[in-house]
Structure 1
Amino acid sequence: MPNTTAAASPRGFDLTSTAFLIVAFLTGIAGALQTPTLSLFLTNEVHVRPAMVGFFFTGSAIIGILVSQFLAGRSDRQGDRKHLIVFCCLLGVFACILFAWNRSYFVLLFVGVFLSSFGSTANPQMFALAREHADKTGREAVMFSSILRAQVSLAWVIGPPLAYALAMGFGFTVMYLSAAVAFVVCGAMVWMFLPSMRKTPAATARHLEAPRTNRRDALLLFIICTLMWGTNSLYIINMPLFIINELHLPEKLAGMMMGTAAGLEIPTMLIAGYYAKRFGKRFLMRIAVVAGLFFYIGMLTVHTPALLLAMQALNAIYIGILAGIGMLYFQDLMPGQAGAATTLYTNTTRVGWIIAGSLAGVVAEIWSYHAVFWIALAMCVFTSVGLLRIKDV
């Protein structure tokens, strides 16, 4: 009888792990179909000025932080994280439907973004559930999480070029409806295959005391990751308009650049996950920042398609290590709070959007799209200073 149980257990775990991989890919696809083209959507479909495009990203980030922080605390204290992920996917579907047919700036900002904030929260909640599942089953958390992050990057290899192809070839309505389908399939996969892990109040209360000694480092890491994601947000907001309006290069190049970077991020994440224990997370983050410095220097000086594509290797190192190691860094600094730690990390991307949205539109309108990359370079410099003061884990 024990032999039968032992033999059955790996098969069940393999099925669950496969489901996690598929869900990670689908949540990535849902985002990758929407975010890369959002600045073009607002400019060409909603017909707003660059400053209003930046304000939209800022407003959406603020709403996203409020929603995700509320859900993070609740998910760590009570309920079943699996049911929450399904609920977030459902609201993500409604958000995509609204963006597909509505062209009112303020309706999209306040109603559409509110709904899509729930949809985007499905991703960090899935990672929190994966961490809990890995800890419970004894699986090596760093490598498992890195593989899941690689799935999200794989989605971003496919997503941006597909998004531009759908938007330019069939219109933004078809593109957003495609994202809605991704959310539907994702919700179904979560409901059928991911594990349920209900919270026990006593255990949660005991764990919440653990991270107090790491509060300073968690705050410093929040600032570091925020600056890094802020530079990436500046790049995503600004780059398509820079490529098209200032360099007068083909629209599809923007999608190719994003897809190339995402493709190269996959081996970067896996390599970083493999060497995290040997070299430490802080060392890998420092490598990422050096790559980021060279990348944004390149964006300021290189303007030919071949070199712009080649430079995505630096961008991949920069974002690949941040995406693969940053979340694990937070989880190690905040033991027993997988949901709060993962959402705190995810909110660094949203605060990054706030900073980028506030700066990108205004700088582009006053000076140029090219000038925005000077801001990104300065943020990279500040990040390198922050990494000198944080402890390694």
Structure 2
Amino acid sequence: MSKPRINAIYVTFLVVSLLCGIAGALQAPTLSLFLTNEVKVRPMWVGLFYTVNATAGIAISFLLANRSDNKGDRRKLLMFCCLMALGNSLVFAFSRDYLVLITVGVLLAAIGNASMPQLFALAREHADRSSSEVVMFSSMMRAMLSLAWVLGPPLSFMLALNYGFTPMYLSAAAVFVGSILMIFFFLPSVPRVEQPVDEKVVPVSAWRNKDVRLLFVSSLLMWTCNIMYVIDMPLYITSDLGLPEGLAGLLMGTAAGLEIPAMLLAGYLVKRTGKRKLMLYAVASGVVFYAGLVVFQFKAALMILQLFNAIFIGIVAGIGMLYFQDLMPGRAGSATTLFTNSISTGVICAGLLQGFIVENFGHYPVYWAATALAVIALGLMYKVKDV
């Protein structure tokens, strides 16, 4: 394969990451507002929706990961997942029935959400085959996701608050159409060597690895904190702090913008410092962020705290996935999915915790809980070996 063709493929991976990220960033930030204001359900049902969505996502993504690691065309699977995500956007655009959303919508979302780990696994395999720098390329793809979250949340709130949720979800559907076309015309099918002997053994032995378990639980707790914040913050700043709804999109966009240099710098420094040290810095920043939310409740402080949020998520999102891949060599799809399922499991915990806390105690205690979980995550990460 010629050099220009390889460069074109890399650019396409970055563009698809950006498009899929924008589609997700259009929908996720306003979901709690959509369920509360449009579908008109109580906080407990909002939390339950996140939990059911994440539970279905874990089961389906593991099934797809096991299949994609050993047989089939990962590129075709990636297009199928994006097609299901497109269907999910259309369901949310036209339905306001909670039962339809938590069944049909959740099923389509669960399949659609597997598109991102499949995209990163395909990129990892392509980079390995072409002897490219895996860490930096992965960090650049993660930076595209952060760029998507710079653009997506403000645009999401602008569309939802000024034009309604239907145009917002239709916009996400249109972006998924663009993603599917880019994957179909430009991304390669990477042949993989089947490993029939290891097919049943490797996932089990990997989970028996103490470091994989510690990393998974620590990552789970980190994402529990993050998703609790994402679910609760748009409601908290309006109902408790009396700040404008649009500020939520600005806070998310600011954090995402700051994540980009954090990710790229982490990709540059990882060979010097090692993944463990960077992850420790990241979780420590998370502790500062959530503790800051407990202490400060005005706009300027919330904006400044996004720097620590960006360091936290930027490094965890970029280096955390590679950490799993290095601890599980030869199983890029399963390792990537284990990382994404730590996110999904975190969503389960976040949905239950946030719903329960808000229903019984209000929004403010959510951030005390997030601070405590971040401290525990820091302790667990300290015990994971460097790779």
> Does the pair score TM above 0.5?
yes
Q: 1:308 corresponds to which letter in structure 2?
A: L
Instruction: Report the TM-score, using the length of structure 1 for normalisation.
Output: 0.96
The CA distance in 2 between the partners of 1:195 and 1:205, in whole Å, is 27
The CA distance in 2 between the partners of 1:112 and 1:314, in whole Å, is 34
The CA distance in 2 between the partners of 1:207 and 1:35, in whole Å, is 34
Q: Report whether the alignment pairs 1:135 with 2:135.
A: no
- Alignment-derived partner of residue 280 in structure 1: 274
Q: Report whether the alignment pairs 1:260 with 2:292.
A: no
Q: Report whether the alignment pairs 1:115 with 2:108.
A: yes
One of 241, 247, 257 as aligned partner of 2:241: 247
CA 1:210–1:360 in 2, change beyond 3 Å: closer, same or farther?
Answer: closer
- Alignment-derived partner of residue 145 in structure 1: 138
- Alignment-derived partner of residue 147 in structure 2: 154
**Residue 118 of structure 1: CA displacement?**
1.4
SS across alignment from 1:196: coil
- Alignment-derived partner of residue 170 in structure 1: 163
The CA distance in 2 between the partners of 1:240 and 1:24, in whole Å, is 25
Identity of aligned residues (%): 52
Matches within 5 A, 1:25-36: 25-36=18-29
Q: Report whether the alignment pairs 1:215 with 2:209.
A: yes
Question: Would the aligned equivalents of 1:96 and 1:179 in 2 still touch at CA under 8 Å?
Answer: yes
**Residue 384 of structure 1: CA displacement?**
1.2
One of 1, 5, 15 as aligned partner of 2:8: 15
CA 1:208–1:15 in 2, change beyond 3 Å: closer, same or farther?
Answer: farther
Q: 1:13 corresponds to which letter in structure 2?
A: I
The CA distance in 2 between the partners of 1:388 and 1:314, in whole Å, is 19
One of 59, 65, 70 as aligned partner of 2:63: 70
- Alignment-derived partner of residue 4 in structure 1: none
Question: Would the aligned equivalents of 1:246 and 1:369 in 2 still touch at CA under 8 Å?
Answer: yes
Question: Would the aligned equivalents of 1:208 and 1:336 in 2 still touch at CA under 8 Å?
Answer: no
- Alignment-derived partner of residue 5 in structure 1: none
One of 40, 50, 57 as aligned partner of 1:57: 50
Choose 110-119 or 252-261, whichever is displaced more: 110-119
- Alignment-derived partner of residue 93 in structure 1: 86
**Residue 27 of structure 1: CA displacement?**
1.1
SS across alignment from 1:47: coil
The CA distance in 2 between the partners of 1:80 and 1:302, in whole Å, is 50
Q: 2:300 corresponds to which letter in structure 1?
A: A
Query: Can you list the C-alpha shifts for 1:77-127, whole angstroms capped at 9, x where unaligned?
Result: 100100000001111111110000101111101110110111111111000
Query: Can you list the C-alpha shifts for 1:194-223, whole angstroms capped at 9, x where unaligned?
Result: 11023343x464587667367221111110
CA 1:189–1:204 in 2, change beyond 3 Å: closer, same or farther?
Answer: farther
Query: Can you list the C-alpha shifts for 1:178-208, whole angstroms capped at 9, x where unaligned?
Result: 111111110110111111023343x464587
The CA distance in 2 between the partners of 1:67 and 1:135, in whole Å, is 26
The CA distance in 2 between the partners of 1:111 and 1:63, in whole Å, is 11
Structure 2 runs not aligned, ≥5 long = none
The CA distance in 2 between the partners of 1:206 and 1:346, in whole Å, is 22
Matches within 5 A, 1:301-312: 301-312=295-306
Question: Would the aligned equivalents of 1:78 and 1:198 in 2 still touch at CA under 8 Å?
Answer: no
CA 1:206–1:195 in 2, change beyond 3 Å: closer, same or farther?
Answer: same
Q: Report whether the alignment pairs 1:293 with 2:287.
A: yes
Question: Would the aligned equivalents of 1:32 and 1:156 in 2 still touch at CA under 8 Å?
Answer: yes
One of 30, 37, 52 as aligned partner of 1:37: 30
Q: Report whether the alignment pairs 1:126 with 2:119.
A: yes
Query: Can you list the C-alpha shifts for 1:244-291, whole angstroms capped at 9, x where unaligned?
Result: 100010011000000000000000000001111111111001101111
SS across alignment from 1:369: coil
Question: Would the aligned equivalents of 2:70 and 2:199 in 1 still touch at CA under 8 Å?
Answer: no
Aligned length: 385
The CA distance in 2 between the partners of 1:390 and 1:371, in whole Å, is 30
SS across alignment from 1:248: coil
Q: Report whether the alignment pairs 1:315 with 2:304.
A: no
The CA distance in 1 between the partners of 2:75 and 2:196, in whole Å, is 17
**Residue 240 of structure 1: CA displacement?**
0.5
The CA distance in 1 between the partners of 2:363 and 2:354, in whole Å, is 8
SS across alignment from 2:190: coil
The CA distance in 2 between the partners of 1:340 and 1:204, in whole Å, is 15
- Alignment-derived partner of residue 339 in structure 1: 333
The CA distance in 1 between the partners of 2:40 and 2:259, in whole Å, is 33
Question: Would the aligned equivalents of 1:80 and 1:199 in 2 still touch at CA under 8 Å?
Answer: no
- Alignment-derived partner of residue 236 in structure 1: 230
Instruction: Report the TM-score, using the length of structure 2 for normalisation.
Output: 0.97
Question: Would the aligned equivalents of 1:210 and 1:335 in 2 still touch at CA under 8 Å?
Answer: no
Choose 208-217 or 371-380, whichever is displaced more: 208-217
- Alignment-derived partner of residue 189 in structure 1: 182
